[in-house]
Structures are given as structure tokens and as C-alpha cells.
Chains A and B, each alone.
Chain A
Amino acid sequence: MEEKKAELSAEQKQDELFQRWLEPKDPEGNNLTFKNSGAEKLYRERITRIKDAIQLKKLPDRVPVCPLPSMFPAFYSGISLQEAMYDYDKCCAAWKKYVLDFEPDAHMGCAAPGSGKFFEILDYKLYAWPGHGVSPEHSYQCIEGEYMMADEYDELIHDPSHFFNNIYLPRVFGSLDPFKMLPFLPGILEMYGVAFNFIPYGLPPVQTALKALMEAGSEALKWAGAVGGFDGEMAALGFPQIIGGFTKAPFDTLGDTLRGTKGIMLDMYRQPDKLLQALEVITPLMIKMGVGAAKMNGKPIIFMPLHKGADGFLSDDQFKKFYWPTFRKVIVGLIEEGCVPFPAAEGGYNSRLSVIKDVPKGKTVWMFDKTDMANAKEILGNTACILGNMPLSILNLGTPDDVREYARKLIDDAAEGGGYIMANGAFFDNVKAENLKAMVDFTKEYGVYK
């Protein structure tokens, strides 16, 4: 079996993952029972449509339409975001209403709100969430900071696991502060003195932290049961969930929640070699994160939210030196294991198009926000599937006619010959339902390939 795996090409591995997505399992590992043959047919048609748009081999029957909401289903169903985070049943019901009412070709599951109770148990410091720093009706937001200090690169480079366990976790989770005391595991060798290493586990603060960890684990399991159950229920009704897992570009991993925007940008000047070394160290971890999730979930598409490589954030030279090399390695690493990287480029990516073109053909899907789509199609069209660009300002403030007009132009500009998926450009909370409906319905009608 191992040998057979090793012989598979990236192409075969991708087909295998698509096949697993096409044939979903229930929690017991048996073939999922669809509600009826119609649902089963629609489920497979929807995935095939997306697959064809991505692989650029076969023309899809029409342009797939996959709105990518953030917290919209909560607004649409009239529950607060606090309820979405704390009442898993309400959350699932709201997200279900969204999927059934809008009938997208794929949905993103209902994991976006996350579990409020879980974050509370661990006293999460990295984000403010409804009732904890933002009002109950607003979405969670990241609290930028230096969660890794400028002089801690060597800690990360020499032993990333130790860095995350003993340094990063105690900073981002108040309840895990005592993890600072955890032992250095490579010291556990031979017979003599082994027990010394376990002293920290006997200390009261560490024991309290471990109890919090177990409680958090139980809550996570409860939440994951609800979220996973939702995906199964939607699949049985014919609606595939598109996200197989999540990973990041190494520059964003370091720049978003470790060093922070300011920190990483100063490091580019003050300690560029350490920064480059750390990016290389993180790269295989980011690949492993995406591949592991895809294999576990049986779905090829790995979401990658991009932040600091957008137009204006870095110069061309800075992008090519600090951002792209390790980002590309993650993309290629994912592809080699059969995954479909799905980078979401918030902001503009116009100046990056000719650089990011250098990836294997038919193996990626790029979400664009403010990028010129006609230009993206021209430069990337033969290489990658492109997705998105419906402006949030139109979805939020425009009319259904405005939406249709924009969608028509998008399809004309970006969908010729396949390789385009209709979607919003950036993730959205509150938009007008009739506008979203217009985007979906118009695409189903106008986007048919003849």
C-alpha cells in the first residue's frame, strides 16, 4: 500500500482526493446515505462542476457559483454572532437556512463562528469576540500584537514545537500560561533521571492548565460534532462543503499572529537572514498542516487566506525575496500530495499576477478581491482557476440589477473557456439577501456554457 502511494503522481493523488470528496462517508465510515437520488446527483454534479473549473481540462457545464460568507448566515437568520458562537444548534440551523435558501454549488461549512465556550475556557488573547471585546452583534476581530518577540527567532528556528508549546501557547491562551514550565522533551532518554523531566506535570499551576486543556478538548469535540454533523447533513441534501483544510503562506504565518505586521516588517530590515531562515523552517509545517487536513477530511481544496503580500504591502523586490519563495513551496508541496491550494488574495494582487503564474497548471484556485479580473484571466487563465471579485460594496449597498450587471461583466471577462468560479471578493457578514440571491441565480442562468 505504502509503495503504491509512492508511485502515484500528483495528478493521480488529486484525482483520488476528488474521488473521496465525490463519495462522502458517514461518521461510521460507511458510504453516506443521500436523502434521495436527486440530492446524490446534484452533489456529484456540483463537485464535478468545481473540479472541471479548477483542472482546466474539461469545460464545466456552467460557471460554478460559490459565495464565501463569513458571518452572513447569522445575520440572515436573525441570530446574533454571540449566539452563533455559543449555541451550536442555532449556528447549524442558521447556516442550514443559508445553504437551502441560496443553493450554492458549494458551501464552507459552519465552522467560521467557532466555539465561544472553547475560547473562554482557554482565555484566548489573540482575538476579541462577541461579548469579549466586541459587541454581541459584531464579528470577532484579531488583536494585533507581538506574540513572538524580535529576539526569539532562534527558539522558533531550532525547535518549532517547543516554541509553540512553551512560548506561543502561554501567550495566546491565558489558561495555558503555566505551559511555560513544561519540560524539554528530548531530555527524556535512557533510565537515569527520566522522572526529573516530569516534575512540571506535578506542579499545581500546570495541573490546573492541563485540566483546562481537557475541558477545552471536550468542548472542542462537542463543537466539532455539531460542525461535522452539519457537513454530513448538507451533503445528504446535495450540497458539498468546499474546504478540506487550511494553511497559510509562511510570511503571513509569521507576520499575522507571531511577529505582527510591524514586527515582521522591521525584521525585513533588522534581521533579514533570521526571518528568511524562519520562513524556511515554517514551510514544511505549513505543507504538513494542509496535507494532513485534506487526507483526514477526504477533500482536496486547502484554503489559504493571504494578507501581507497584497499590492502596496510589499514592493516587487520584497515580495519576491520574502513572500513568494516559501509561499510557492507551500503551494507546490500541497499539489505534490494531491491538494488544490486555494489562496484568497484580499486587496489587490495586480502586481503579483506574473509572479504567481509560476505554479503547476490546473492545480490551484485563486480568490481575488480587488484584482482586475480581465487581466487576471489573461495572465493566469492558462494556469489556474480564478474565483471571486464581486465587490462587497455592491452586495451590501447595491441593487439586484447592479449585481447582475457586475456578474455579467465578470463572466464575460473571466469565465470564457472555463476556469472561473463566481464568488464575492472578500468575506462578508451583512449583505442584502436579494443581492446574494441575484448573484447565485444570475450565474446559474447566464453562466451556462453552450
Chain B
Amino acid sequence: MPRELVNLLSNLKEPESIDYVEKSLGRGVDPLQLLEQAREGMKIVGEKYADEKYFIPDLIFSGEILKGVVDKLKPHLKKKEETSPLGKVVLGTVAGDIHDIGKNLVVFMLDASGFEVLDLGVDVPVEKFVNAIKETGSRVIGLSGFLTLAFQSMKQTVDAIKEAGLHDVKIMIGGGQIDERVRSFSGADAYGKDAMEAVKLVKGWIGG
């Protein structure tokens, strides 16, 4: 596989990435190959973030470049491209809390690491988490929260998941004020202090 787009994207070269995709498509290059390069580039972005070479602005910018690349590729992709994601993860910010920056970082990093992520958004009611687990068969769920009220919402969500009999589901929590004490209070299986730890937890639970 050629590496030009991998390098351009992972070095956050926006106009150059788009330009390369346009020119390649014009030359008849397989759009799937370009998409594969883009995915590889994003994986490197994720690794650089994990190594603290990249920070939030760099992640956000890479996401925008990817969006631009995918927009160019879309008309050329025949059908929805089949992927074989490592596993499904359900994520959301718990009831009462509408903060999403931290949650979005975890979504990004899990996605970049090859997991399929169902992002339920913010202020997610307890039942919505339970239903999402039932519908997707996901075995890992991530609860995000920034406010102290999230401590209670997290506990209520964990309780509801257990009451629904979903005992084989692993639950991780995270957010500004979350620590081991909150984990123990909520009954969650683990907490991660950042998006990299979330990826490690998920890998430990469902491989990849």
C-alpha cells in the first residue's frame, strides 16, 4: 500500500491530503485503497496522541481532515465498505450532564483503535444505555460525566444494567472528577483517567 496519504494525514497536512486524494482519484486509484491509507493515518494520529506528541487540537484537526478526505471518496465508493471492527463499545455522557469533550475524545481514540463505537450523546437516560446494550449485544460500556451529579447518574446506570441481568457487560467510567472512589461508589468495573486508558481497558476486555 502506498504511504503518501498515511503520511500527509498523520502529519496533519490538510490541503495536501485533499489535493492528493483528488489527484489520485483522477488517476484512477482505487478509493478503497485511499480509505485504507486514511484509516492507517488516523491510527498513527491516535498513537501520537497516546505518546503525548499530539494533543486535543491535533486530534480535532485530524478528524476534520479525515472528514474532507471521506467526502471526496464517498461518491466513488460503490457500496458501504465492509469493515471488521474489533468489537462494539457503547458510550455516552450520563443523565443530567451535557459535557461532551471528554466523551468525544474516548470515541475518537476507540474508533482510531479499530473498535466500533455507538455514541449515545449527552444527558443519556439510564434506559437508553440498557436498551443500547441489549440491541447491540455490546459487552463494553463507557459512562462519561464532568459534574458531581454524574456520580449518582453513573451509579444509577450501573445499577440498572445489573438489574436488567446484563452481568457480563464491563462498565468503565471517566471524566474530570472521576477517580477510584467514584468507581467504587458507582459499582463500575474500572475507571480511566484519560482516553488512552479507556482504549487499554477495552482492549483488555474484548481484545484487539
Which of A266, A268, A312, A428 contacts B194 (CB under 8 A)? A312
Q: Is the CB of A318 within 8 A of B55?
A: yes
A312-347 CB contacts (< 8 Å) to partner B? 312-315, 318, 346-347
- The smallest beta-carbon distance between A343 and chain B, in angstroms, is 17
Q: How far apart are the CA atoms of A190 and B57 in the complex, in Å?
A: 49
* A359 close to B (CB within 8 Å): no
Closest to A317 in B: B55
Q: How far apart are the CA atoms of A269 and B101 in the complex, in Å?
A: 19
Which of B52, B147, B177 contacts A391 (CB under 8 A)? B177
B148-205 CB contacts (< 8 Å) to partner A? 148-149, 151, 176-179, 181-182, 185, 194
Q: Is the CB of B98 within 8 A of A141?
A: yes
Which of A268, A318, A391 contacts B179 (CB under 8 A)? A391
Residues of chain B within 8 A (CB-CB) of A429 are: 147-149
Residues of chain B within 8 A (CB-CB) of A346 are: 176
Q: How far apart are the CA atoms of A268 and B182 in the complex, in Å?
A: 35
* B99 close to A (CB within 8 Å): yes
Q: Is the CB of B97 within 8 A of A269?
A: no
Q: Is the CB of B56 within 8 A of A269?
A: no
Residues of chain A within 8 A (CB-CB) of B58 are: 315
Which of these binds chain B: A23-31, A159-167, A394-402, A439-447?
A: A394-402
* B77 close to A (CB within 8 Å): no
A313-B55, A392-B148, A397-B151 given; A269·B181 CB < 8 A: no
A141-B97, A143-B98, A393-B177 given; A269·B61 CB < 8 A: yes
Which of B12, B101, B182, B194 contacts A397 (CB under 8 A)? B182
Q: Is the CB of B185 within 8 A of A265?
A: no
A346-B176, A393-B178, A393-B179 given; A313·B148 CB < 8 A: no
Chain B contact residues, majority secondary structure: loop
A138-B96, A312-B194 given; A394·B55 CB < 8 A: no
Residues of chain A within 8 A (CB-CB) of B127 are: none
Q: Is the CB of A393 within 8 A of B182?
A: yes
- The smallest beta-carbon distance between B157 and chain A, in angstroms, is 16
Q: Is the CB of B60 within 8 A of A265?
A: yes
Q: How far apart are the CA atoms of A354 and B100 in the complex, in Å?
A: 30
Q: How far apart are the CA atoms of A128 and B185 in the complex, in Å?
A: 28
A138-B149, A314-B56 given; A266·B61 CB < 8 A: yes
* A430 close to B (CB within 8 Å): yes
A247-272 CB contacts (< 8 Å) to partner B? 261-262, 265-266, 268-270
Write the B44-57 contact mask toward A (1 if CB under 8 angstroms, else 0): 00000000101111
Residues of chain B within 8 A (CB-CB) of A270 are: 14
Q: How far apart are the CA atoms of A394 and B58 in the complex, in Å?
A: 34
| 21 examples of A-B residue contacts, CB within 8 angstroms | A135-B96, A139-B149, A141-B98, A141-B99, A144-B100, A269-B14, A269-B57, A312-B55, A314-B57, A315-B58, A318-B55, A347-B176, A391-B177, A393-B151, A393-B177, A393-B182, A396-B148, A397-B182, A429-B148, A430-B148, A431-B148
* B interface residues with partner A (beta carbon < 8 Å): 12, 14, 52, 54-58, 60-61, 64, 96-101, 147-149, 151, 176-179, 181-182, 185, 194
Interface pairs A-B: 4 shortest CB-CB: A265-B57, A393-B181, A315-B55, A392-B177
